[in-house]
Amino acid sequence: MKRIYLDHSATTPVDPQVAELMMKYFVDYYGNPSSVHYYGREVRKALDEARTQVATLIGANPAEIAFTSGGTEADNLAIQGAAKAKLKKGNHLITSAIEHHAVLDTCKHLGKNGYELTILPVDEEGIISVDELKKAIRPETILVSIMHANNEVGSIQPIEEIGKITKQQDILFHVDAVQSLGKCSIDVKAMNIDLLTISSHKIYGPKGVGALYIRKGVRVSPLMFGGAQERKIRSGTENAPGIIGFGKACELAGQRMESERAHLTSLRDKLIDGIMSKIDNVKLNGPSGSKRLVNNVNVSINFIEGESLLLSLDMIGVAASSGSACTSGSLDPSHVLLAMGLSHEVAHGSLRLSLGMQNTDEDIDYVLEELPKIVDRLRAMSPLYTKTSC
């Protein structure tokens, strides 16, 4: 069966060039980078190069990068670490309702443990209001954490504008850029970002590795204590093959960014336009055009439920995801879609198709050919659907 992978926001395949490079650091250069001998030195050199490659992609200095076990750890380190380090100054945190759980649940945890938390709402396109943010700032505000591009609906937040405000008011600004890395240009200096989370496995690198950019002079308390690696910010023997693979993936992402943006945008718009014209009673979730992440398509298909849609797509070889409750194991549909004002029913019928480097025009043609048939079949089964409802 022909298989089409349209779930790149969940994870991506490792680029063969990345995998090949990593392999050497499993079997040949396996030393501990802290060791003084040859084995250690060779790995240390490669780690230094990786740090430069990662820093270059986001406009940082290599010394401002701390490698972690992934985006989740980097988010936790940024928020818990900054909150703790800044406690003398204040205890108020600001985030948004559509953050990844790695940010939202970390903030909520702090909110129950001595910190004050403001969760900003979003509009129907999934974008926060800068005015609301300004109003939420108090003298004791120490940290604003707002994601760059949302992982479910692809909405891009006004990071530059926020960065100006936080800089002016001397508040730390953390940005989760896991989904935008390699797809949007990021310049931490120009955007006035103090802390930036990135993750390797969304950019054709290995899983289980990420990084936190920490602007020079910004202090975060570590989550883990031990051998004082990563300038004491993140103890633990470095995941050398992973970090080196991440570095390579960043280098490739930088080289490919412009052509990939064009490729993904054209596929994205073809897919969105095709779905909207071929299926009735569908709604695009998230903004269109330049406010939308180049590889994200998210639609709610009324009267049907997301998981049954995913199952049907999987049977014809198409891998996608949904914000339906029944795909998450919890009873509630996506917090992002609910925050955008969707009803439970409409949120349950959401479908996310996230594109990647290897997708082609033919892949999109195939989906546009098959999806309407699946929708018809499921609607024929649905008690919510009546032919006259359109």
Partner 1 sequence: MYSDKVIDHFTNPRNVGEIEGANGVGQVGNAKCGDIMRISLVVEEDIIKDIKFKTFGCGAAVATSSMVTEMVKGKTLEEALKVTNSTVAEALGGLPETKLHCSNLAADAVHDAIKNYLEKTKV
Ligand X SMILES: Cc1ncc(COP(=O)(O)O)c(C=O)c1O
Find tokens 């230094």 and name the residue: 48
Residue 308 near ligand X by CB under 6 A: no
Q: Does 301 bind partner 1 (CB under 8 A)?
A: no
DSSP code string of 278-309: HSSSEEE-S--GGGB-TTEEEEEETTS-HHHH
Is 326 annotated in the active site? Answer: yes
Q: Are strands 350-354 and 296-301 parallel, antiparallel or unpaired?
A: antiparallel
Kindly state whether residue 210 participates in binding ligand X, applying the rule CB under 6 A: yes
Identity of the residue, 72 or 302, whose beta carbon is nearer to ligand X in the bound complex: 72
Which of 151, 298, 308, 321 is the binder for partner 1 (CB under 8 A)?
A: 308
| Candidate list 131, 383, 387, 388; residue touching partner 1; CB under 8 A | 383
The two three-digit tokens of residue 188, written as one number: 């931490």
CB nearer to Zn ion: give 165 or 326.
326
Asked whether position 27 contacts partner 1 by CB under 8 A, the answer is no
- 323's contact among Zn ion, ligand X, partner 1, none, with CB below 5 to 8 A by partner kind, is none
Binding of partner 1 by 389 (CB under 8 A): no
What is the distance, to the nearest Å, from the Cα of residue 302 to the centroid of all Cα atoms in its chain?
26
- DSSP character for 235? -
Interaction between residue 349 and ligand X (CB under 6 A): no
Quick one: what does residue 179 bind among Zn ion, partner 1, ligand X, none, with the CB cut-off 5 to 8 Å set by partner type?
Answer: ligand X
Report what 383 binds from Zn ion, ligand X, partner 1, none; CB cut-off 5-8 Å by kind: partner 1
Residue nearest to Zn ion according to CB distances in the complex = 326
Question: C-beta of 109: minimal distance to partner 1 in Å?
Answer: 24
Q: How far is CA 339 from CA 68, 328, 342, 347, in A?
A: 30, 17, 7, 10
Question: What are the backbone dihedrals phi and psi of residue 5, each rounded to the nearest 5 degrees, phi first?
Answer: -95, 115
Q: Spell out a b/e string for 80-94, using b for 16 or more CB atoms within 10 Å of the CB, else e.
A: bbbbebbeeebbbbb
Question: CB under 5 to 8 A by kind: which of partner 1, ligand X, Zn ion, none does 102 bind?
Answer: ligand X
d(CA 238, CA 284): 42
The partner in contact with residue 305, picked from partner 1, Zn ion, ligand X, none with C-beta cut-offs of 5 to 8 angstroms by kind, is: partner 1
Measured between alpha carbons, how far apart are the two ends of the chain, in Å? 34
Helices marked H in 224-239: none
Specify the residue for token string 């909405």: 155
Neighbouring-strand partners of residue 117 = 93
Count residues binding partner 1 (CB under 8 A). Answer: 24
- Give 287-290's long-range contacts (Cβ < 8 A, gap of 24+): 287/125, 287/126, 287/127, 287/154, 287/155, 287/156, 290/156
292: contact with ligand X by CB under 6 A = no
Site for ligand X in 54-73 (CB under 6 A): 70-72
| Pairing relationship of beta strands 318-319 and 4-5 according to DSSP bridges | parallel
List interacting residues with ligand X (CB under 6 A).
70-72, 75, 100, 102, 147, 151, 176, 178-179, 199, 201, 210
Q: Which are the catalytic amino acids?
A: 326
List interacting residues with partner 1 (CB under 8 A).
303-308, 311, 315, 324-327, 329, 331-333, 344-345, 348, 380-384
